[in-house]
Amino acid sequence: MEARAILKYARISARKVKIVIDLIKNKKVGEALGILRTTPKAASPIVEKLLKSAIANAENNHNLNADELVVAEAYANQGPTLKRIMPRAQGRANRIRKRTSHIILVLREVK
């Protein structure tokens, strides 16, 4: 059995999220939560909240034991980019790209 949690349109770059996600792949859930709490990255609280959601999905929807769960898959894909402009000198404008990402966590039970 597996449980998953998906976060779409997170207002953080997928490149930044992938750094944090790589730290918790193939780790037990308790260990992954500890890593996320102590990692000083902007994506850590977002991924931690998503991991807690996946754990709740596993316990409530699939009757899985939280102590035996492992982060089997975790990946972040690029979402749509919000395009904004920043005024510059002499009437010019620079484009600002506010990137978004779709984050997916899959937990599996290991006995």
14-68 confidence digits (pLDDT tens): 999 999 999 999 999 999 999 999 999 999 999 999 999 999 999 999 999 999 9
CATH number of the domain where residue 97 is located: 3.90.470.10
Q: Specify the DSSP class assigned to residue 11.
A: S
The boundaries of the domain holding residue 28 are 2-109
Percent with pLDDT over 70 in the chain: 100
Whether 106 and 74 have beta carbons less than 8 Å apart is answered as yes
In the predicted model, is pLDDT for residue 111 greater than 90? no
Structural domain total, the chain: 1
Angle, CA of 40, 42 and 66, to the nearest 5°? 75
Which residue do the tokens 């918790």 mark? 24
